[in-house]
Structure 1
Amino acid sequence: MKKVASFICKHKLFIVLCSLFALIPAVLGMQATKINYDILVYLPDDIETMKGQDILTEDFNMGSFSTVIVDGMKPKEILALEEEFKTIEGVEKAISVSDITGTTFPIQMLPENIAEKVSKGDSQLMLVTFHDSISSDETLAAVEQMRSITDKHCKIGGMSAMVLDTQQIADQEILIYIAAAVVLCLIVLMLSLDSWLAPLLLLGNIGLAILYNMGTNYFLGEISYITKAISAVLQLGVTTDFSIFLYHKYEKSKQLYATNNEAMSAAIQETTLSVAGSSFTTIAGFLTLCTMSLTLGADIGLVMAKGVIFGIFSVLVIFPAYLLLFDPLLQKTAHVKWLPSISRISDFTVKHYRKILLVFIILCVPALYGNANTEVYYNLNKSLPDDLSSSIANEELKETYHIVSPSIILVDDSLKPSEIEQLSKELNALDGIDMTLSSALFSEYGISESMLPQSIRSIYQNGDYQAILINSTYETATNELNAQIDEVNKIVKRYDAHGIVAGEGALMKDMVEIADHDFQVVNSISIAVILIIMIFVLKSFLLPIILVAVIEFAIMANMAISFYLGTTLPFIASIVIGTIQLGATIDYAILLTNNYLNLRKSGVEKKQAVGDALKESCDSIFVSALCFFAATCGVGFISKLDMIASICTLLSRGAIISMGTVMIILPALLIVFDKIVLKTTKGFKGGKQA
């Protein structure tokens, strides 16, 4: 490592120029990276509902559909609007009841249960189907063009409209997220560092690492909008402390070495050894998200793990070069640190460690209870503002037409009309289902197949399958709807063992089941992996258990606060928060523990060792936690997307809670378990220095 460090110092100008030239492919890669705004595509491909989506796309040319509410238009105008919609690239069909009644036949002449489902007052429903999937570029562009054509006459509901609104908000806000994170971190660094220029160099260095990370996302094919929105601020929050550590080591080394190059070489070597263990745990924490069945976890995990690697490379290679080149300006812009030291907390912690331990034990009860009872929601509509076009349309569909959770049942084409009719009747008899549309329904009311336009017939029958459209009045991702879908599946399987229930409701049911499983698995794996890594890093058996227990308590307390505040969280936040907070803040505990072990090895008594280790560590932990808080809290306040706002709010709060538990609870535990810790840690024998 010494040769590498010397090379970096000797060729600092070359490294700076390379870092700037590398921005060109990074920016190009970032612009070319496809962003996905549909969470449902991250469901496993082999589940039945996803196979149903493939059948709808390939056999029915219906990768997605939107329900359009047409206001104040006559049948002739509605038919003309249908034709205009059909000219839009990506639109397969545009169908309304006017295709059956024409311009002269009154809708009221249709059977009442059909008429009331397609028309209310001066408004009427239109079904628009799209060739491609819900979130494809072609489908989203088609929905956007439909909105521009219809102006105020129509409201477009459905998943694609919701995804389009999500895309537009996320694209508008992403730069604001980054700006807020940078400004708030800059304030923290200006107060905590001793130079006006150092924070700018530090943030500029991290900015390079973020751009490299975002540019290389191109090779992943695509990333989710959630990953895009939080990866930059998370990378900033997680890797800032590495840069601060190098800067402090460089400033101290300059007092010991004759030249700046020698001082920086020593700082690089010491920083490499110091951040190796903590960076491994952070990377491992992110990578455990890849074990989720919901592949959104892998999306976030890979990007963030890659971001930490780029951050470490940038800190150890690029940042030293910039510090050396701008060293004269660093000295000219020096100032006194304005952020007060909090090292006096060590005296309080050591003096009152028994009381702290008692309070910790008491607090475990509400933390466990609150964490276990925190409510989450799975309905994607709830993560969007109520004033969006899609939200307004979906709410009107629900209130006026009682269309809440439409689904499509796919059965074999060989089923007889009588069987389809009987199947439809059984489905319609279920509580919560108020509409069943099939070819048999029209026959029942004397509307023969030949009387229906081909555009309508092709919706119900195409290729090897027949389709039955059903509507549930239950909200998606609720226990009521999930139980209803189970009943629908049982009925369908009696008529066709290979029948499939497809659509948003069925997809969200799978999402609920998979997410619940992922929540249990990913947390267990992240704890196990980080424990194993820390056993090797700390060369101890008991210490990793204590450290993980402290951070897990912080995670439970963080989640419990949401429960006691009455906050319902989006499901993805509850899954990823534990793994990210554990991986990102365990570093605080490792830093304190390493200092404690070094002091104990040098023969310092346990209370004195814990107190001195805390004095040496607390300012670094404080600044690191403040930077993490600053990078994420702004996004939590700003974002209109609850999926993003909730994750960042939890992370910002989690950074402060983890800081508090490491500074107050961990020292108390180290004092209490000191003897056992020494017996189970390499380098000590019989509880004493080896």
Structure 2
Amino acid sequence: MEKNRSFFDKFVHFVVFKGKLIESVFLVGTIICAACFPFVKVNYDLSKYLPQFAQTKQALDVMEDEFGYPGMARIMVKNVSLQEAKRIRSKISDLEGVDVVIGPDLTTDVYMGASFANEGLSDMTSLDSFSMNNYYRDGNALMDVIFKKGDDNPLTRSGIEDIYRIVGKDRGCFAGSAISSKEREESITHEITIAIGMALVIIWLILALTTTSWMEPFLFILIMIIAIILNMGSNLMFGTISFFTFSTAAILQLAVSMDYSIFLLHTFTAIKKTGVEIHKAMEMAVKESCSSILASGATTIVGFIVIAFMRFTIGRDVGFVLTKGILCSLATVLFLMPTLILHFDHIIEKTAHRPFVPTFDRFAKLMNQLRKPVFIIAILLAVPCYFGQNMNAFYYGDDAIGAGPGTRVYEDTRKINEVFGKSNMIIGIVPNGSVVTERQLTDALEDLDFVNYAISMSGTVPRGIPESFLPDKVSKQLRSSRYARFLISMNTVQESQYAFDCSQKLEKVIREFYPDHAYVIGMTPTTIDIRDILTDDYNKVSNLSLAGVALVVLVTFQAILVPILVIIPIEVAIYLNMTLPYVMGDSMVYIGYIIVSCLQLGATIDYSILMTNNYLGFRKTMNNTDSAMAAISKSTLSILTSGGILTVVGYLLYFTSSIQAISQVGRLVGRGALLSMILVLSLLPALLSLFDKQIQKQQERSIRRKERRRLNYTKVRGTLKGGDVNE
């Protein structure tokens, strides 16, 4: 008897009867991953995810080799004299992590006697590029700071802390990419902790209402916490993950994989009620629910893994971590949960309570009555929404991940712009050559109406003074052994069509003087590259996601029409979800647009699969109308539980995160789950009922194919056995 058992039977038997060993393995793994988690680094710089072929990526590599990879900040000091502003700027210039500081005293020598040769670029007092009004107005002094290292480098972070101390947080306004990066890092962990804590409480309440034991929600949440720790700690294998992944992975994993444990426990409870011994009941429950759990996990994994095919490699970061999270959840549910259910079975029974949620028979009748209007509305909305989603106003770059309204960085940026206007720092790098050409380029850049100033070595050094006369402190800031650096301030925001146009005009001017090996670096050029790459990524990722999920559904139902009907409500929900920002006049983060489109399909297609399975099951004994109502009644609680959790988690991210990209993704996830629930419960039964004849024909053909394969297999097996006997 033991020899005839299949590998799957042996696997299930091992899971049920080797609980102590499995618990020990998961305990050790959880402890190790919890210890590893603090060592996982988080990156906040979107430019790090540009592919190598992008011009900005190549420019950043050159600049990092020649001059370092600078972070930038903009500081306004209030109620300050020119003399005090010079002292403050001088102190900032002397900080270890600071490269260049441009301030108001560059427009006038407040002491009339600074030694040019003994000062750095920050103290050169003969720059014709500036006017007093650019950097000093009504007792407010403005300073542009360029750091030696990147925005998220520890040396830059230390420099910012020193600047806070020198200026005084109450006296200054602080903006720029380096400031935003630092504030994001400090707020993100706090905000995600709050979001997860609130999510656990609300999810417990949802589960308490939809289950029949007070213990069950605690067990579900425990399983998910273990899976999340395993996933987040094992990210150490990647070394560094993006801020986007760090912010969303845990809470999305919690939301989308809660179903797996619910499937298993409810199947076990139903079997146990028939009087089967609990270990035998658990074996039967694992066997019965395993296919549903794996099918559900497969659709979600497909939705996540295709994100990794983005050329903008933050997609690979997000896709791999979320996919690994689903695998951790599947492993935890299929291996660890059976033994925990057996351990706590007596507590589950003792804490049982009556069902709080009534039946959904009346709701099913209402949905059946509304099926025709819903079908017509869906047809009318589908095409406009498909085109409308591409008409949104999108953000692509650093503005997309910047602090939102109400945060200090946002308000400080607004105050600085009100007093001094906008400043968008661009860095140009050109090959060393003619000093005359460099000076001509500097003049040409300053003639552009959108340029506040342009600083170069040749354009800055007073005529008649050779560069070799200057100390290294001065020359190294604008010239290396191979390249010269230009510091250019544009009077634009970092991300707008006008900023893009200005950046491209500026680059065109530079290439007129230096056709080869010239580079333009800054938030705006970076955003242009990100935009061009992401818009191409969307079509590829969206099509792959749709094809992958359709293939999983096709394998599940083994019919062509059913996968199409299953996907339609989810796709309409996605189109509607992505069109609403355009209708409401909101802007959208393009990264979130891509990721949520795939996530919503992968995470909510299960609702359609569940409804369709129930419909086909009832259709064996009922007509199409009664089957549709019965399927709605049976499916609603599960769909509301799963969809309600995803909706709550999404909106918690929306309300708790100060980072616009995270907040918007949360809103899209929450609203998308809600729309998917509504359309699956209303539109899908109408589609199944409308195409019932075609579905039944395909089901019959599928049954005949299975029967033929079974008969062929039986014949082959019989032939082989006969051959063995003859031998």
Q: TM-score range by the shorter chain?
A: over 0.9
For 1:673, which of 681, 687, 691 is the aligned residue?
Answer: 691
Q: Deviations over 1:435-475 (max 9, x none)?
A: 22223433578887589765343322222111222222222
Q: Which residue of 2 aligns with 1:410?
A: 429
Per the alignment, do residues 493 and 234 of structure 1 end up closer, same or farther by CA in structure 2, a change over 3 Å counting?
A: same
SS at 1:408 equivalent: strand
Aligned to 1:195: 213
Deviation at 1:582, TM superposition (A): 0.4
Which position in structure 1 is the counterpart of 2:679? 661
SS at match of 1:521: helix
What is the CA-CA distance between 1:238 and the residue it aligns to? 0.5
**In 2, Cα distance between equivalents of 1:401 and 1:41:** 31
Residue 159 of structure 2: which of 124, 142, 149 is its match?
142
Range that drifts further, 371-380 or 156-165: 371-380
1:605 partnered with 2:612: no
RMSD (Å) for aligned C-alpha atoms: 2.9
Instruction: Note closer, same or farther for the CA distance 1:124–1:377 as it changes in structure 2 (3 Å cut).
Output: same
Distance 1:369 1:564 in 2: 12
SS of residue paired to 1:523 = helix
Select 1:531's aligned residue among 550, 559, 565: 550
Segment of structure 1 superposing worse, 191-200 or 478-487: 478-487
Which aligned pairs between 1:199-348 and structure 2 lie closer than 5 A?
199-348=217-366
Distance 2:658 2:373 in 1: 42
Pairwise CA distance, 1:188: 0.3
Gap change, CA 1:679 and 1:456, over 3 Å in 2: farther
Question: Could you give the per-residue CA deviations for residues 44-89 of structure 1, whole angstroms, max 9, x where no partner exists?
Answer: 2332212222222221235333343345556665565556546655
Q: Does 1:499 align with 2:518?
A: yes
Deviation at 1:577, TM superposition (A): 1.3
**1:110–1:250 distance in 2 versus 1, CA, 3 Å:** closer
Report the Cα offset of residue 32 of structure 1. 1.0
2:423/2:489 contact within 8 Å kept: yes
Distance 1:86 1:440 in 2: 22
Amino acid at match of 2:136: S
In the alignment, structure 1 segments of 5+ residues that lack a partner are none
User: Residue 56 of structure 2 aligns to which amino acid in structure 1?
Assistant: T
Aligned-residue identity in percent: 27
Distance 1:357 1:144, change over 3 A: same
What runs of 5+ residues in structure 2 fail to find an aligned partner? 1-7, 114-123, 709-727
Q: Give the CA deviation at 1:560.
A: 2.4
AA at the equivalent of 1:409: G
Counterparts in 2 of 1:149-160, with a 5 A limit? 149-152=166-169, 153-160=171-178
Distance in 2 (CA, whole Å) between partners of 1:397 and 1:45 is 35
Query: Is the 2:73–2:174 Cα contact (8 Å) retained in structure 1?
Result: yes
Deviates more, 1:53-62 or 1:28-37: 53-62
Matched letter for residue 156 of structure 2 = T
From 564, 567, 585, the counterpart of 1:545:
564
Distance 1:620 1:387 in 2: 38
- The TM-score with structure 2 as length reference comes to 0.88
Shift of 1:346: 2.9
Which piece of structure 1 moves more, 208-217 or 532-541? 532-541
Between the aligned partners of 1:596 and 1:687, the Cα distance in structure 2 is 21
Question: 1:295-346 CA distances to partner (integer Å, 9 max, x unpaired)?
Answer: 1111111111111111111111212211111111111111012123324333
Whole-Å separation in 1 of the counterparts to 2:521 and 2:393: 27
The answer to whether residue 488 in structure 2 is matched with residue 470 in structure 1 is yes
- Distance in 2 separating the partners of 1:173 and 1:563: 28
Contact 2:86 2:105 in 1 (8 A): yes
Distance 1:44 1:269, change over 3 A: same
State whether structure 2 residue 378 is matched by structure 1 residue 360. yes
Which residue number in structure 1 is paired with residue 29 of structure 2?
22
Q: Partner letter of residue 641 of structure 1?
A: I
- 2: distance between equivalents of 1:387 and 1:621? 36
Pick from 564, 589, 597 the counterpart of residue 608 of structure 2.
Answer: 589
Do 2:69 and 2:148's aligned partners in 1 also have CA atoms closer than 8 Å?
yes
Alignment correspondent of 2:137: 120
Change (3 A) 1:443 1:233: closer
The one of 34, 37, 43 aligned to 1:36: 43
Matched position secondary structure for 1:35: strand
Letter in 2 for 1:614: I
| Separation (CA, whole Å) in 1 of partners of 2:538 and 2:319 | 15
Q: Distance in 2 between matches of 1:261 and 1:518?
A: 49
Aligned partner of 2:57 among 41, 50, 63: 50
Name the counterpart of 2:714.
Answer: none
8 Å contact kept, 2:216–2:348:
yes
The separation in 2 between residues aligned to 1:345 and 1:389, in whole angstroms, is 47
Q: Which amino acid aligns with 1:6?
A: H
CA distance in 1, matches of 2:175, 2:465: 28
TM-score w.r.t. the length of structure 1 is 0.92
Tell me which amino acid in the other structure corresponds to 1:26: C
Equivalent AA in structure 2 for residue 143 of structure 1:
I
- Greater CA deviation, 511-520 or 326-335? 511-520
In the alignment, which residue of structure 1 is the partner of 2:656? Answer: 638
Partner-residue secondary structure (3-state), 2:257: helix
Answer yes or no: is the 8 Å Cα contact 2:399–2:495 preserved in 1.
no
Structure-1 residue corresponding to 2:724: none
Deviations 1:371-426 (A, max 9, x none): 23333223634641345454344334433333421101111101x22222322333
Number of residue pairs the alignment of both structures matches: 688
In the aligned structure 2, how far is the partner of 1:354 from the partner of 1:158? 54
Partners of 2:107 and 2:127 within 8 A in 1: no
SS in 2 for 1:66: strand
- The Cα shift of 1:112 comes to 7.5
The DSSP-based 3-state class of the residue aligned with 1:45 is coil
Higher mean C-alpha displacement, 457-466 vs 180-189: 457-466
Deviations 1:503-545 (A, max 9, x none): 1111111122222222222212211221222222221212222
Which has the larger displacement, 135-144 or 166-175?
A: 135-144
1:568 is the counterpart of 2:587: yes
Amino acid at match of 2:315: G
Distance change >3 Å, CA 473–CA 39, structure 1 → 2? same
Once the two structures are overlaid, the 10-residue window that deviates more, 475-484 or 100-109, is 100-109
- Which SS does the other structure have where 1:337 is aligned? coil
- State the distance in 2 between where 1:687 and 1:665 align: 30
Q: Among residues 573, 576, 582, which one is paired with 1:557 in the alignment?
A: 576
The structure-2 alpha-carbon separation of the partners of 1:546 and 1:639, relative to structure 1 and needing over 3 Å to count, comes to: same
Partner of 2:116: none
Match for residue 514 of structure 1 among 533, 536, 542: 533
639-648 or 112-121, larger mean C-alpha shift: 112-121
Sort the Cα spacing of 1:387 and 1:236 in 2 relative to 1 into closer, same or farther, 3 A: closer
- Structure 1 distance, partners of 2:649, 2:99, is 45
CA 1:487–1:260: 2 relative to 1, 3 Å: same
Supply the distance in 1 between the matched residues of 2:465 and 2:138 (Cα, whole angstroms). Answer: 24
Aligned amino acid, residue 51 of structure 2 = P
CA displacement at 1:592 relative to structure 2: 1.6
Given that 1:60 and 1:463 are in contact with CA atoms closer than 8 Å, whether structure 2 keeps it comes out as no
Change (3 A) 1:78 1:56: farther
What residue number does 2:68 align with? 61
Q: Is the 8 A contact 1:346 1:612 kept in 2?
A: yes
Which residues in structure 2 correspond to 1:6-21 (within 5 Å)?
A: 6-21=13-28
Distance 1:538 1:266 in 2: 23
- Cα distance, 1:237 vs. partner? 0.9
In the alignment, the residues of structure 2 paired with residue 605 and residue 253 of structure 1 have an alpha-carbon distance, to the nearest angstrom, of 28
Shift of 1:277: 1.7
CA distance in 2, matches of 1:61, 1:653: 43
What is the letter of the counterpart of residue 625 of structure 2? K
The answer to whether 1:4 aligns with 2:35 is no
